[in-house]
Amino acid sequence: MRIFDPHIHMTSRTTDDYRAMYDAGVRALVEPSFWLGQPRTSPASFFDYFDALLGWEPFRASQYGIAHHCTLALNPKEANDPRCTPVLDALPRYLVKDSVVAVGEIGYDSMTPAEDHALAAQLQLAADHALPALVHTPHRDKLAGLHRTIDVIRESNLPPEFVLLDHLNETTVEAATDSGCWAGFSIYPDTKMDEDRMVTILQNHGTEKILVNSAADWGKSDPLKTRKVADAMLKAGFTEDDVDQVLWRNPVAFYGQSGRLQLDVLTPDPLHEGNSILRGGE
Amino acid sequence: MLTSRNSLKSRKELDAELGGAARAWLDEALAEAAHDAADATATPGAPRPGASPYASPPWELRYAAAGRHCGQENADSVRSLLLVESRASLPSVTRLYDQGTAAERRAVLLTLHLLDLGDTALPLIEDALRANDTRLVAAAVGPYAADHLDPHAWRHAVLKCLFTEVPVAAVARLGERAHGDAELARMLNDFAAERTAAGRPVPEDLRTVLALTAPAGEGDHPARPNAAPAAPAPTEES
Ligand SMILES: [Zn+2]
């Protein structure tokens, strides 16, 4: 079984997690930039974080045989902090990097005017860079937040098939799929969304344009939830091909729209991955 | 000039290899870099008046996208050409390194010796040698490090390669700099003794470097007396 976790925050996880994920079948993942739990106080703090998502973290992943890509953005929460908003001006130079496969996570947290501005500006950045967008739907007032999100996407220059609406549940799946966007579900170890409810959603809505992720981070979360959904799908009578579609082909198709996915895992061998010191002379 | 031991391809080689669209992209990118070089002669690396503090010259954006347009296998070569063609200044290489992905940083490190920077870019080498990313360590011990690292830093760079299993074949002019370096020999012997005490194998590369430290005429007896425990210890390499 091959698994692509389309939303997981590996900087918050240990190497044991990488090993367990590999053993469970995870071969590729996307790490969206997000809030770190502790508020940042300057753009420079974002830049160090973005650099880690483009440098150290892919190296760590490669040591465990997992292809690492990322999405970069000013997250919804910190879009409200004027000390952080200059990040928007610096994003263009980050969005040209090879392993950036989308703009994200963007979206609404509390639905403020500052969030309106950051969401619209970053949807435009995605359109300018021919990148998809990973759009987080708010945890509070979710359905209203989703409708407002879809309105902003409609007004943007980004086509809906370039948008992944994430953290959906039973109350928001309908509106999300009707919008033409891709639908993402984060499976948590608590009541937000679990693997059996996910299976029911797949039974009702089919396996097209649906992605499942662990959204694991520094909070209570489980980086093996993708595998647990796969097992629950098989147990409920879905075929191996259905599982492969939801847990591999769909994320590959969505993020593949960036033209930047490199799924052949590069070895961390210093003299083979790109480093060409030895290739000619000796 | 770019076909030295790091095997970066020359423009000619790239032109022969690349398809039409990639070649056109490369032509434009190099023209932009050359234009920037001409522009910046007066104030090298200075930001353009009125530009956002985060704005970069167009060729620097192309620097990031090189692999997508010319093939990932050519990214190092294309990036290196852009640096050379733009006559990248210290602020420029520092910005590209600081703001770069690991691959972009590596291309900076591989090109420093081709730029007219004297020893001013040493902080980039030192940064890379602090990294745990072995791709950066391997790229940092090239010709620029051989030319400019002081003996202490250079010895630590060699030791870092042994620790992180970067093959010492990556170290430029290893034989020349190691030759007769008694302090390096001491460090290697101490490292070997530490490994042996821990019941761990001594890296084969350590013996290679140790042999190179012998002063002239002692080539047959590279190990100093206190190296004795190191020699028989590992019966197999991991
Ligand atoms: Zn998240």
The per-residue pLDDT for B43 is 56
The per-residue pLDDT for B101 is 95
Angstrom distance (rounded) from CA A46 to CA A198: 33
Residue B177 has pLDDT above 80, yes or no: yes
Angstrom distance (rounded) from CA A265 to CA A278: 21
Q: Are A145 and A129 in contact (CB under 8 A)?
A: no
For ligand 1, the distance from its centroid to the CA atom of residue A70, given in whole angstroms, is 11
Question: Which residue range forms the structural domain that includes residue A196?
Answer: 3-278
From A24's Cα to the closest Cα of chain B, the distance in A is 26
Given its phi and psi angles, is residue A259 left (phi above 0), alpha (psi -120 to 50 degrees) or beta? left
The per-residue pLDDT for A269 is 54
For ligand 1, the distance from its centroid to the CA atom of residue B11, given in whole angstroms, is 43
Contact B54 A280 (CB under 8 A): no
Confidence of residue B40 (pLDDT cuts 50, 70, 90): low
The number of angstroms, rounded, from the C-alpha of B68 to the middle of its chain's C-alpha atoms is 23
**pLDDT tens, position by position, B98-113:** 999 999 999 999 999 9
For ligand 1, the distance from its centroid to the CA atom of residue A250, given in whole angstroms, is 18
Contact B166 A271 (CB under 8 A): yes
Question: Which residue range forms the structural domain that includes residue B85?
Answer: 11-40+56-148
Beta-strand relationship, A163-166 and A133-136: parallel
From A31's Cα to the closest Cα of chain B, the distance in A is 15
- Which percentage of chain A shows pLDDT scores above 70? 94
**pLDDT tens, position by position, B204-215:** 999 999 999 998
Q: Which of A47, A89, A277 sits opposite B5 (nearest CB)?
A: A277
Angstrom distance (rounded) from CA B160 to CA B207: 15
Instruction: Give me the number of domains chain A comprises.
Output: 1
The per-residue pLDDT for B215 is 86
- Structural domain contains residue B50: no
Residue A275 has pLDDT above 60, yes or no: no
**Averaged pLDDT, A128-154:** 95
Q: Which of A51, A271, A274 sits opposite B76 (nearest CB)?
A: A274
Q: The domain spanning residue A85 has which CATH number?
A: 3.20.20.140
Residue A34 has pLDDT above 50, yes or no: yes
Q: Which of A47, A96, A268 sits opposite B134 (nearest CB)?
A: A268
| Residues B151-160: contacts with CB under 8 Å, at least 24 apart | B151/B181, B151/B183, B153/B126, B153/B129, B155/B181, B155/B183, B155/B184, B155/B187, B156/B129, B157/B129, B158/B184, B158/B209, B159/B187, B159/B188, B159/B191, B160/B129
Angstrom distance (rounded) from CA B205 to CA B66: 34
Q: For chain A, where are the E strands, in sequence order?
A: 3-5, 26-32, 67-72, 100-107, 133-136, 163-166, 182-186, 210-213
Confidence of residue B232 (pLDDT cuts 50, 70, 90): very low
Contact A93 B61 (CB under 8 A): yes
**Averaged pLDDT, B155-167:** 96
**Averaged pLDDT, B123-133:** 96
B134 touches chain A (CB under 8 A): yes
| Cα distance between the two ends of chain B | 38
- Structural domain contains residue B20: yes
Residue B224 has pLDDT above 60, yes or no: no
From A141's Cα to the closest Cα of chain B, the distance in A is 36
Cis peptide bond N-terminal to B218, omega within 30: no
Angstrom distance (rounded) from CA A103 to CA A2: 25
Top pLDDT among B219 and A54 is at A54
Spatial CA neighbour of A275 closest among B80, B188, B179, B21:
B80
Instruction: Give me the number of domains chain B comprises.
Output: 1
**Averaged pLDDT, B30-42:** 81
From A247's Cα to the closest Cα of chain B, the distance in A is 26
Beta-strand relationship, A133-136 and A3-5: unpaired
A/B interface, count of CB pairs below 8 Å: 103
B105 touches chain A (CB under 8 A): yes
For A18, phi and psi rounded to 5 degrees? -55, -45
Please give the residue of chain A at the shortest CA–CA distance from B7: A280
Angstrom distance (rounded) from CA B123 to CA B102: 16
Q: Angle at Cα A62 formed by Cα A59 and Cα A67, nearest 5°?
A: 110
What is this structure's pTM?
Answer: 0.87
The strand order across the sheet containing A182-186 reads A3-5, A26-32, A67-72, A100-107, A133-136, A163-166, A182-186, A210-213
Return the structure tokens found at A97. 């990097």
Residues of A in contact with B5 (CB under 8 A): 277, 280-282
Q: Are A254 and A6 in contact (CB under 8 A)?
A: yes
Angstrom distance (rounded) from CA A189 to CA A21: 16
Least confident of A64-73, A92-101, A131-140, A187-196: A187-196
Top pLDDT among A184 and A271 is at A184
For ligand 1, the distance from its centroid to the CA atom of residue A214, given in whole angstroms, is 9
Residue A265 has pLDDT above 90, yes or no: no
Return the structure tokens found at B231. 């020699």
**Averaged pLDDT, B105-129:** 97
Residue B226 has pLDDT above 50, yes or no: no
Beta-strand relationship, A67-72 and A163-166: unpaired
Residue B45 has pLDDT above 90, yes or no: no
Residue A258 has pLDDT above 50, yes or no: yes
Return the structure tokens found at A158. 């980004």
The per-residue pLDDT for A264 is 85
